[in-house]
A and B are shown apart, each in its own frame.
Chain A
Amino acid sequence: MKIVQAKDITQKVAQLCVEINTKLADDIDSVLKKEEDNEPYSLAKNILSVINENRALALNAKRPICQDTGMVVAFVKYGQDVVIKDGSIEQAIQEGVRQAYCQGYMRKSVVEDPLLRDKNTQDNTPAVIHYQVVPGEVLQISIMAKGFGSENTSALKMMKPSDGIEGVKQFIFDTIRKGAPNACAPIIAGVGIGGDFEEAALLAKKALFIPLDQHQQKPHLYSLEKELMQSVNKSGIGPMGMGGKTTMLGIHILDYPTHIAGLPVAVNICCYVDRRGTVVF
């Protein structure tokens, strides 16, 4: 049995929320630098250089890269042999988010009622939290601060089995082509295929956590990713949709078995500021 103090969870979540907003993961950092060097179109190269200049300033000042410091999404792997002392895991995570956004001078972007929109919660809570119970003494919390310029361009479609790989490819490409200019391209795409309605969406979000230099093991999904990378980056959309080669930095596809009648496909789009990180207890 493993004992974890609720206050330690709060402290580590708070620290992680601030860190991911000020510094991008190494894999994204190196791709952005590489793409600035490789971009042949001068306006696009100029935009990528502004992007990289801003990231350096943010890192240096320990301040958010983007003023949209996101809505926090957490994926928790919660071992059956872990006991949380002096509080609940849910409250501990929400408190961590609250402290990070209030004490870290980050924007509070959450409205209490999605339709009335008359009250900001003032502390960026609640985070959206997904739990997975696993065997053993594991406690792992992966956090994303998800910006909504890109979230708004995401889409889910219940496709027909007869649509096949070609249909799925077309839907993913169309969603990206339509969304990328508004989603602060160069974007990163997470795709979920299979399961049911909500599982496809969850897979798409989980895919945004995969490092850009890590690749799919399934050959047919790996070639689908490669093909989509090529076709999106040949579309000419470019950084900020103003033309150029660098439209997408990476795409990851996750899949899950599905019903004989169905083919759910979800595309979750993220701007280049894919703020993600994990703490392990």
Chain B
Amino acid sequence: MMKKISTPLSDEVIASLSCGDQVYISGIIYTARDAAHKRLIDDLKQNKDLPFDIKNQIVFYMGPCPAAPGEVIGPAGPTTSHRMDKYTPRLLSLGLRGMIGKGNRSSEVIESIKKYHSIYFACVGGTGTLCAKHIQHSEVIAYSDLGTEAIRKLEVVDFPVFVAIDAKGNNIYINGPNNFRKYLLKQDN
């Protein structure tokens, strides 16, 4: 099913989304990948405040290419999410509600998604130029020394994703291949 949503995420919106839905996101999202996640968690360990309020927000696992003249941002597709798994439960416990990346998550992350009623979206990997077209504004708001891995505040319009793991823990990386195998069996019969 195709749905349009806006950030920040509310309980109602999260509850309305199911594994496999195609979703267009509009509003503010934040980028963070490996190095930024490590630093966020290090900041927390040192009792520092996070550089942005993550409550009800979405984090996009992404490090863009530099903007060419005339561009808001360079190609900007998702990176593989599981490298962030170690850090994710802590961020979810602090109010982060959504993530955009690609690939399956650890069982710890899936448990946290259920526990904190949050959601994991997957974006089609390798589609950097297409993703960038849906970003209308980009601003580095923290850790600028990390370059492409700095935290960016993005304003997106109809950013195209799929629900990969919904708040009930339904997981497209299990359901999708199972559904396809069932489909194949039906064809054979």
A contact set with B: CB distance below 8 Å: 40-41, 43-44, 46-47, 50-51, 53-54, 57-58, 61, 63-69, 105-109, 117, 120, 122, 147, 149, 152, 181-182, 184, 234-245, 271-273
How many angstroms between the C-alpha atoms of A19 and B188 in the bound complex? 44
B residues in contact with A273, CB < 8 Å: 126
Provide the residues of chain A in CB contact with B180, threshold 8 Å: 41, 44, 236, 238, 243-245
With A50-B124, A64-B129, A107-B64 given, can you name 16 additional A-B contacts, CB distance below 8 Å?
Answer: A51-B126, A61-B129, A63-B129, A65-B75, A65-B126, A65-B127, A67-B65, A68-B79, A105-B74, A149-B102, A182-B104, A184-B126, A236-B176, A241-B176, A242-B172, A273-B126
By CB atoms of chain A within 10 A, which of B127, B133, B181 has the most?
B127
Nearest-CB residue, chain A, relative to B66: A105
Is there contact, CB below 8 Å, between B130 and A242? no
Chain A contact surface mostly: loop
A105 and B130: CB pair below 8 A?
Answer: no
Task: Tell me if B95 is interfacial: C-beta within 8 Å of chain A.
Answer: no
- A51 pairs with B122, CB closer than 8 A: no
Give Cα A166 to B171, complex, Å: 32
The answer to whether B20 touches A43, judged by C-beta atoms less than 8 angstroms apart, is: yes
Of chain A, the residue at the smallest CB distance from B124 is: A50
Contacts of A40 in B (CB 8 A): 183, 187
Q: What 1/0 flags go to B141-178 for Cβ under 8 Å of A?
A: 00000011000000000001010100000001101111
Question: Which residue on chain A has the smallest CB distance to residue B34?
Answer: A117
B51 within 8 A of A: no
List 24 interface pairs A-B (beta carbons < 8 Å), by A numbering: A43-B162, A50-B124, A51-B127, A58-B128, A58-B129, A63-B74, A63-B129, A64-B65, A64-B74, A65-B75, A65-B127, A67-B76, A67-B77, A109-B63, A117-B35, A181-B104, A234-B184, A236-B177, A238-B180, A240-B102, A241-B177, A242-B162, A242-B172, A243-B177
- Contact A67 B173, beta carbon cutoff 8 Å: no
Instruction: Give the residues in chain A near B148, CB-CB below 8 Å.
Output: 107-109, 120
A150 to chain B, nearest CB (A): 9
User: Which residues of chain B are near A117, meaning CB under 8 Å?
Assistant: 35
Which applies to chain B's interface (DSSP): helix, strand, loop or mixed?
mixed
Residues of A within 8 A of B74 (CB): 63-64, 67, 105-107
B24 to chain A: closest CB distance in Å?
12
Q: How far is the CA of A58 from the CA of B75 in the complex (A)?
A: 9
Q: Which residues of chain B are within 8 angstroms of A236 by Cβ–Cβ distance?
A: 176-178, 180-181, 184
Inter-chain CA distance A44–B103, complex, in Å, is 15
Please provide the 7 A-B residue pairs with the shortest distance between their CB atoms, ordered closest to farther. Answer: A243-B176, A184-B125, A67-B128, A236-B177, A182-B103, A54-B127, A54-B130
- Pairwise interchain contact B80-A149, C-beta atoms closer than 8 A: yes
Q: Mark B65-81, 1 if CB is under 8 A from A, else 0.
A: 11110010011110110
B179 within 8 A of A: yes
- Does B22 touch A at the CB level, under 8 Å? yes
Residue on A with the closest CB to B181?
Answer: A236
Contact of B62 with A by CB under 8 A: yes
Is B82 engaged at the interface, CB distance under 8 Å to the other chain? yes
Q: Are B130 and A57 in contact, CB atoms less than 8 angstroms apart?
A: yes
> How far, in whole Å, are A146 and B160 apart by their CA atoms in the complex?
25
Nearest residue (CB) in A for B149 is A120
B21 to chain A, nearest CB (A): 10
| B-side contacts of A66, CB under 8 Å | 75, 77, 125-128
Within the complex, the shortest CB–CB distance from A180 to chain B, in Å, comes to: 10
Residue of A nearest to B75 (CB): A67
Q: Are A237 and B80 in contact (CB under 8 A)?
A: no
